[in-house]
Amino acid sequence: MARFLKDVSRTFSEYLLIPGLTTKECVPSQVSLHTPLVKFKKGEKSDIELNIPFVSAIMQSVSDSNMAIELARNGGLSFIFGSQSIETQAEMVRKVKKFKAGFVVSDANLKPDNTLQDVLELKEKSGYSTIGITHDGTSTGKFLGIVTGRDYRPSRDNIDTKVEEFMTPFAKIITGELGISLNEANDVIWEHKLNALPIIDKDQHLRYFVFRKDYDSHKDNPNELSDSSKKLLVGAGINSRDYKERVPELLEAGVDVLCIDSSDGFSEYQKETLEYIKSSYGKNIKVGAGNVVDKEGFRYLVDAGADFIKVGIGGGSICITREQKGIGRGQATSLIDVAHARDEYYKETGIYIPICSDGGIVQDYHMVLALAMGADFIMMGRYFARFDESPTRKLMVGGNYVKEYWGEGSNRARNWQRYDMGGSENLKFEEGVDSYVPYAGKMKDNLDITLGKIKSTMCSCGATTIPDLCKNAKITLVSSTSIIEGGAHDVILKEPNL
């Protein structure tokens, strides 16, 4: 007979936080959200610490280089998705490591012999109105000109007109030389009333753009997550199939941390992957593993050498693993169980293994619950997929703007390695869906609101750090009736003014 667990499989929505004493010192401005990403010994610090407890999910529809740059600038970290070629993933890592605040690599480029039709299609696809014209149409080709919305009239101009006929040519463009400081570049922009300043090297190759609209964001980012060389930190997802080929390319590109991406991490394949990476490249290479939902899975991967553990199976908004295979566990119950195992391991060995809560976040207060239940940081997909910085298209559906969002277990992702059970056949059934999420705008605007809620809730719990919260928070189960009581009820809501 199977072994039956006594614990009920519970979700975050079944719990509430009980207020603690809010002292005069316990105000949002005094709250620290710093948290360790990778394991460390007692009395030491983690080699990588996040400034906010958020990482973005290892998904095609969430974590590319643009998301990684913006999240790192705001204190978190992205794991660039691994369900792509080794070369393109490594290039995304390089783009993040080469990023310089305020200096933007041009993602919209054409050649002089392209047409106005190409300009319009590129603008529609990328959303960018400033297009660099280079000899080969690449972001680093010889810079020949620039096209903006002021250079053409779609309603009147012939769409077959060559770009070279209406672009602003190089001879008429004010440029900056590679090596110019951001302050100097901004001074040139303001002095000459420019909207964009192309930065070129000594061979006239385009290297960056500096934009007037980004001026405000050029100010110091107090939460920016960077290394000693002021390069942004970035992670990358790997699988247990092609890691021998993928890992060296990612390391060469400068990746800071790796994470084995699997729906079920309690496997010999992950053990072999961890042991190979550690033996081949040294224990200083940071590798997370998972996902697991209990003590046994946690201890297995920790013993194999994992630097952090991801917790959660089937709790993601686009994940249907529980429906399809009947495996998983409520996210809250999983997290509580693994957090106990983490604390036991720390007492036994003096080594602290951070755990990541992956899935199950519906409301912002669920994030605080996850941290109070023992998570060191939280991985989210749906939350980040809504923003401008995610790689998916923004569409109008039913009169509302949405962004595409699909799971790595969907046929669209075709990421069969993530669900690999050791056979030779590819994905036969889906464990994720293809969907939309409501469009929410820029990441920073939304992130500031979310972090404000977290800090305010922590103050109500009498905590100013994540360890304080985890140690002192009081949590209670809620009934279905009290959940109803917690929302608006027994009133007639006013219709919003249109």
Q: What positions carry a catalytic annotation?
A: 319, 418
Distant-in-sequence, close-in-space partners of 44: CB < 8 Å, separation ≥ 6: none
What are 88's two structure tokens? Answer: 């393109």
Q: What residue spans of 167-292 are helical by DSSP H?
A: 182-192, 243-253, 268-281
- Give the C-alpha separation, 157 to 171, whole Å: 24
Residue 194: which of 169, 208, 212, 213 has the closest Cα? 212
- Give the C-alpha separation, 393 to 398, whole Å: 16
- The answer to whether residues 380 and 56 touch, using CB atoms and an 8 Å cutoff, is yes
- Give the C-alpha separation, 96 to 192, whole Å: 30
- Give the C-alpha separation, 115 to 105, whole Å: 23
- Across 418-454, b (16+ Cβ under 10 Å) vs e yields bbbeeeeeebeebbbbebbbebbeebbebbeeebebb
- Give the C-alpha separation, 106 to 97, whole Å: 15
Return phi, psi of residue 377, to 5°: -155, 170
- The answer to whether residues 66 and 442 touch, using CB atoms and an 8 Å cutoff, is no
Residue 249: which of 85, 19, 468, 86 has the closest Cα? 86
Chain centroid to CA 247: how far?
20
SS3 248: helix
What are 188's two structure tokens? Answer: 């040139």
- Give the C-alpha separation, 344 to 226, whole Å: 32
- The answer to whether residues 265 and 289 touch, using CB atoms and an 8 Å cutoff, is yes
User: Are β-strands 287-292 and 131-134 bridged in parallel, bridged antiparallel, or unpaired?
Assistant: unpaired
Strand partners, 226: 232
Helix/strand number for the chain, H first, E second: 15, 24
What are 385's two structure tokens? Answer: 């997929």
- Give the C-alpha separation, 188 to 123, whole Å: 26
Q: At what angle do helices 443-460 and 364-372 cross, to 10 degrees?
A: 50
What are 231's two structure tokens? Answer: 């390069």
